[in-house]
Amino acid sequence: MTPDLHSILRGTDLLSSVPTADLEAVAAGSRVRTFRRGQILFTVADGGPRSADAETLEECRLLSVPREVIQDICGRELTAQHALLRSIAANLRRLTEATSDLVFLDLPRRVAKVLLSQPRGEDGLIWPPVSQEELAHQVGGSRPSVNATLRGFERRGWIQVRGRAVTVMQAAALSRFAGT
């Protein structure tokens, strides 16, 4: 196993504390794959139907780890089991909050929350860029409605939109509006 692959695998929550022999088994059973822009990335861990798709935003190379390798390690290693349970619990909390937002928040407040949850540079620029269509999928709205919401935020000076680039100019005001 190359030192880079070892540090990448060791840097994951799931594999951070498994024995080196198990890390070697993961590396041996894994392979690097190249994905084109727009290609689907994963299937669910239990082999059942996916509840959502993840697709690449641009061409990339990723390490593909077979489900059976992860299941084997989680079946033997308590630390890996705990890491997997923490990940499942975090996803459940995120989905519960998103469902609650769909029920109790109007579209502009949902858009504000999603904008605030995106990774941003010190200048407030959301990176990687998120298209209005992607935002619409995340908030359960239409692209035209999201566009109107973004224009409203821009008029208030809370954000700046330049093509696909969105910069959060006043995070505190956007957060107050979203109720976070």
pLDDT > 70 fraction of the chain, expressed in percent and rounded: 97
pLDDT recorded at residue 124? 96
Q: What is the mean pLDDT of the chain?
A: 91
Beta-bridge mates of residue 161: 166
Q: Please, which residues have CB within 8 angstroms of residue 178's CB and are 6 or more apart in sequence?
A: 105, 109, 112, 113, 116
Beta-bridge mates of residue 64: 31
pLDDT 10s digits, 66-120? 889 999 999 999 999 999 999 999 999 999 999 999 999 999 999 999 999 999 9
CATH code of the domain in which 54 resides? 2.60.120.10
CATH code of the domain in which 113 resides? 1.10.10.10
Cα-Cα-Cα-Cα torsion 118, 123, 129, 131, nearest 10 degrees, comes to: 80
The domain containing residue 69 runs over which residues?
3-100
CA distance 106 to 111: 9
Same domain? For 118 and 168 the reply is yes
Give which of 160, 116, 157, 154 is closest to 135, Cα–Cα. Answer: 116
Please give the radius of gyration of the chain, using alpha carbons only, rounded to the nearest integer.
20
Question: How many domains, in total, are found in the chain?
Answer: 2
Q: Which residue has the higher pLDDT, 58 or 46?
A: 58
Same domain? For 80 and 127 the reply is no
Q: Which two tokens stand for residue 172?
A: 């505190």
